[in-house]
Amino acid sequence: MNKNNCTRREFTAAAVSSAAVTIVPRHVLGGPGFTPPSDKITLAVIGLGRQGMVVMMNLLPLPEVQVVSVCDVNQGTKEYAEYSSNAMLNAARRLLGPGFENWGEDWASPGTVQLTKSFSTSLGIGGREPARKLVEAYYGSRNAPESHKDSYKGCTAYVDFRELLEKEADVDAIYVATPDHWHAPISIAAMRKGKHVLCQKPMAHSIGEARRMASVAREMKVATALPVNNPYNANTQLISDWIADGAIGRVREVHNWSSRPYWPQAVERPKEAMPVPQHLNWDLWVGPAPMRPYNKAYLPFVWRGWYDFGCGSFGDMGCYSFAGVFKILGLTPPTAVEACSGESYEETFPQASIVHLDFPAREGRGEIRMSWYDGGLHPPRPAGISEQDGRQFRHRQEGVMYVGEKGILLAGFNGDNPRVYPASPKYVVPPRQEARPEGQGAPEGPRRDGAIDAWISACKQGAAALTNFEIQAPVTEAFLLGCMAQRLPGEKLLWDTAQMKVANNEKANGLVDPPYRNGSV
Determine, yes or no, domain membership for 205. no
Count the domains in the chain: 2
Is residue 238 located within the same domain as residue 129?
Answer: no
Residues 166 and 298 in one domain: no
Q: Would you say residue 69 lies in a domain?
A: yes
In a domain, 236, yes or no: yes
Is the domain of 105 the same as that of 236?
no
Q: What is the CATH number of the domain that holds 377?
A: 3.30.360.10
According to the model, what pLDDT value does residue 462 have?
87
Regarding whether 239 and 384 lie in a shared domain, the answer is yes
Query: 116 Cβ partners below 8 Å, 6+ apart?
Result: 261, 262, 263, 264
Inside any domain, residue 162:
yes
Give domain status of residue 200, yes or no. Answer: no
Please, which residues bridge with residue 370 across strands? 254, 357
From 147, 177, 207, the end of a domain falls on 177
Residues 318 and 465 in one domain: yes
Residue 136, in any domain of the structure? yes
User: Of 162, 177, 192, which residue constitutes the final position of a domain?
Assistant: 177
Identify whether the C-beta of residue 322 lies closer than 8 Å to the C-beta of residue 71: no
Do 300 and 432 reside in the same domain of the chain?
yes
Indicate if 259 and 336 belong to the same structural domain: yes
Closest alpha carbon to 440 in 43, 35, 58: 58
Task: Based on the fold, state whether residues 336 and 484 are members of the same structural domain.
Answer: yes
Same structural domain, 159 and 290: no
Residue 216 included in any domain: no
Are 147 and 241 within one domain? no
pLDDT at 428: 95
Position 385 in a domain: yes
| Among candidate residues 178, 208, 508, 413, the one with its CA nearest the CA of residue 310 | 178
Whether the Cβ atoms of residue 210 and residue 480 lie closer than 8 Å to each other: yes
pLDDT at 432: 66
Single pTM value for the model: 0.91
pLDDT in tens, the chain (521 residues): 333 344 443 433 333 333 333 333 434 444 444 556 678 999 999 999 999 999 999 999 999 999 999 999 999 999 999 989 999 999 999 999 999 999 999 999 999 999 999 899 999 999 999 999 999 999 999 976 666 666 788 999 999 999 999 999 999 999 999 999 999 999 999 999 999 999 999 999 999 999 999 999 999 999 999 999 999 999 999 999 999 999 999 999 999 999 999 999 999 999 999 999 999 999 999 999 999 999 999 999 999 999 999 999 999 999 999 999 999 999 999 999 999 998 889 999 999 999 999 999 998 889 999 999 999 999 988 887 877 777 666 667 899 999 999 999 999 999 999 999 999 999 999 886 443 444 444 445 677 899 999 999 999 998 899 999 999 999 999 999 999 999 999 999 999 999 999 999 999 999 999 999 998 88
Residue 374 phi, psi dihedral angles, 5° rounding:
-140, 180
Same domain, 248 and 123: no
Mean pLDDT score of the chain: 90
CB 328 within 8 A of CB 250: no
Based on the domain organization, do 382 and 490 belong to the same domain? yes
Contact residues for 15 (Cβ-Cβ < 8 A; gap 6+): 22, 24, 28, 29
Q: Which parts of 24-85 fold into alpha helices (H)?
A: 26-29, 50-59
**Which pLDDT belongs to residue 81?**
95
For residue 406, the enclosing domain spans 230-272+280-438+449-509
Predicted local confidence at residue 444, as pLDDT = 56
User: Do the Cβ atoms of 349 and 261 come closer than 8 Å?
Assistant: yes
48 CB-near residues (< 8 Å, 6+ apart):
56, 70, 71, 72, 74, 126, 127, 128, 130, 131, 177
